[in-house]
Amino acid sequence: MRRLWPLTVRGTGALVLAVVCFVLAGEIGVVELMYFGILLLAVVGASVASLYLTRRSDRVTRSLSPDVATVGREALVSVRAGVRTAVPTPPGTWHDALPKGLSGRAEGVFPALGSGLRRSERVVDLSYTVRGVKRGIHSIGPLRVRTSDPFGLARRSTVFGERTSVVVAPAIVDLPPLTDFAGAAGGTLHTTTNQLGQGADNLVARPYVSGDSMRRIHWRATAHRDELMVRQEEQESTPEASVVLDLCVLRWSVEAMQAPGADPGFETAVSVCVSAVARLVHDGYAVEVIDTEGTVLVERIDGGDMVEVEALLTQFATLTARRDDSLAKLSRLFAGVMTGPVILIAGRFDPADAALIGPVAHHSALPMLMAVAPVGDALDRAADHGWRVAAIDPEADIAVAWSSAVGRGVSHVVG
């Protein structure tokens, strides 16, 4: 609630005392009381004028560390306020307005300021910690600073109007690696496994041609023949994986299409998606992120490129569901090809859907289905087609569901 009365308790008492002096001076005829009352009014008036009539300039900037906040994790907000005041001011208080997407204690003591008549503006550094609560783009501010005059008779609440937009990315969970399946699924162990028992001296070298990877250069043969030579027998592959996120609003709620963070189930799915991408990229897979219609949600991320994973988190901060229903098209996307892991994240999943995606399992070295709201025996039917499945609740541990699906083939994990 905004305070309209500019005086503190001390200032209000001084004003009341001045009025009493005027009354008593007229009643008992003591002129000195009149002078004293005038002096009190002058002091109170000067205190108000020092805060409200003196020209001052204010500005504020904010920075976040890390630059992108994440749901469930803390971030440091650094606030830099520039203030110029004509008279010294004692310590005050400050409060920075936080949106619903962030939580924290954004308040504290504002330091005392000296006179700025002879100097440039004072720079005050403030900081506080926030935690991501709701995915999306939110605004911090305005900053409100409450100060008083040197005598403590008047107070002023100054609002720094600048707001700062903050990106809150989906929660990312550290998932267990697919160590038991990396070789079979075309993962990072694939090339290494094929090289076991091969020595550099046993490899056949051939002349370098345009397009050959520099990693395949046979330096000993190059030095011997005085021209670039590459290893002929070394098998070099790029392990690939696909993460498919079902964005059909019919499998979620209407709120999932309206704004980020509105549907808990959809938020769980987005978190599973970015966590799976991070795990696969970390393990060396080149990951493609698409929806069930085949639309690319983010450009292909090469194995080990965690910088692009951070960019993915920023892009998915505003991701919402769509109106289309295209789960039936998923089988056609993988028809005629054999690929590595395929991770499908869906919302409501019924037995008919299990039949629609059944053929995909035969084109993937490691098909995994993560359903937020499975219906009936839909997961069992999907498992019969070869999918490794898990049902997760929005309050469940994603890592447990992930490892259970990989380890046992079918798992039901609830919060």
pLDDT digits (tens, 9 = 90+) for 143-163: 998 888 778 888 888 888 889
Question: Is the confidence at residue 213, as pLDDT, over 70?
Answer: no
How far apart, in whole angstroms, are the C-alpha atoms of residue 215 and residue 207? 14
Is residue 197 pLDDT above 80, yes or no?
no
- Across the range 209-231, mean pLDDT stands at 74
Q: Which of 28-37, 180-189, 291-300 has the weakest average pLDDT?
A: 180-189
342 three-class SS? strand
Q: What is the pLDDT of residue 155?
A: 83
Q: Give backbone dihedrals phi and psi of 73, rounded to 5 degrees, phi first.
A: -120, 155
Mean pLDDT for the chain?
Answer: 82
Residue 18 has pLDDT above 50, yes or no: yes
Higher pLDDT: 211 or 402? It is 402
What is the pLDDT, as a whole number, of residue 338? 83
Calculate the CA dihedral of residues 296, 302, 304, 307 and round it to 10 degrees. Answer: -60
pLDDT in the model for residue 117: 56
What b-and-e string marks burial along 145-181, b requiring 16 or more CB atoms within 10 Å of the CB? bebbbebebbbbebebeebbebbbbbbbbebebbeeb
- Helix (H) / strand (E) element for 49: namely helix 31-52
Average pLDDT score over residue span 115-132: 80
Instruction: Report pLDDT digits (tens) over 306-320.
Output: 889 999 999 999 999
pLDDT tens digit sequence for 230-282: 766 444 456 889 999 999 988 998 898 888 988 999 999 999 999 999 999 99
pLDDT band at 324 (very low <50, low <70, confident <90, very high): confident
Pick the CATH number of 240-413 from 3.40.50.410, 3.10.110.10, 3.40.50.620, 3.30.390.50: 3.40.50.410
Report pLDDT for 77: 96
User: In Å, how far are 67, 189, 199, 221 from 203, measured between CA atoms?
Assistant: 48, 20, 7, 10
**What residue has token string 């100097």?**
119
Q: State pLDDT tens for residues 52-70.
A: 766 566 788 999 999 999 9
Superfamily of the domain at 58-169? Immunoglobulins (2.60.40.10)
Q: What is the pLDDT of residues 332-373, one digit of tens each?
A: 888 878 889 999 999 999 999 999 999 999 888 899 999 999
